[in-house]
Structure 1
């Protein structure tokens, strides 16, 4: 394996690991904000822990996605495309990629780059640094737009990686939504029912009422 091929292999590995971590973070954020309505409203807004968890996941997402788009970052997607262009004939490909396809991938990167300035602003002024002029930066980027940026980066990476080693990454990870929110919601309902019954002169809780809460989804 020549040096250029080895460099590409290492860059693809680092970028893939970041993209996988971002996919998990996206799923975690979605779990916190899109949980079943009843469970979410009963648990998350009242818990500073979950609110902080949501903000910290979002902070980490922005910082990590910047690793793939920042001009000075070693493993950004634009540098990956340019490295492939320059070393196209030297790299040992499984199925050689054409310069035309690399240009199309560059165009695809450009199409999602309209959101890069907002991501950079969030990262530099709020999340990675405490910029004294941060209040002057008006960020306008939604979660859905962040997900679109991630999907675009994943798509570009997957195309290059497929040509390099014939492994097609879909980033469709096996994700099991944590049941902690639902469990906490059940606990709150059980506690409320128990206290209500205890306050009566003859406290009594039917087993079926308890089981209906425990078994609820």
Structure 2
């Protein structure tokens, strides 16, 4: 029992710092990317042929943005964005700097998830709203988004888990967080115990996010 307690307590301060940095990176990038990703996904859907704001040119541009950014591996995107990150916050190293590529990587990811969620809404509901004289804005805010909310929550949960993985990658090149601890202490210093603890914490973190997302989606699903 004493050995187990010692195992848990050892490196607790270091790991707690890594957890805080991971939450910081994922939390801020998740909030900003959701703010931009939802309108992006909505824009793709409503500008499609036959939809309420049909515009093939805007639809092509929005779809191209999603496809291009999602085609770039995150590690490559991080490196490519170093000048832009340095321009925004005067540094390309550290936890705050990692928020920039994490956010840019997540925006098109959320956009595609929103697109898929909105397409699950029954066309009959949209047609009924149009028949009652609803404006495009009312259809988006009172029909499309509310009807697809449980699916959107599950999609955002997937995004948050993906960002946790990306934050670990970012940590490997100096962004801080659990990934940085795993590489700097676990790998470079051959401290297997720290590596194992980091992996366990990441698993717990991901499972916690997934469980909460599932619960919230089920709670909001009134179908």
Instruction: Return the TM-score normalized by structure 2.
Output: 0.29
Give the structure with higher Rg (CA).
1
TM-score (norm. length: structure 1): 0.30
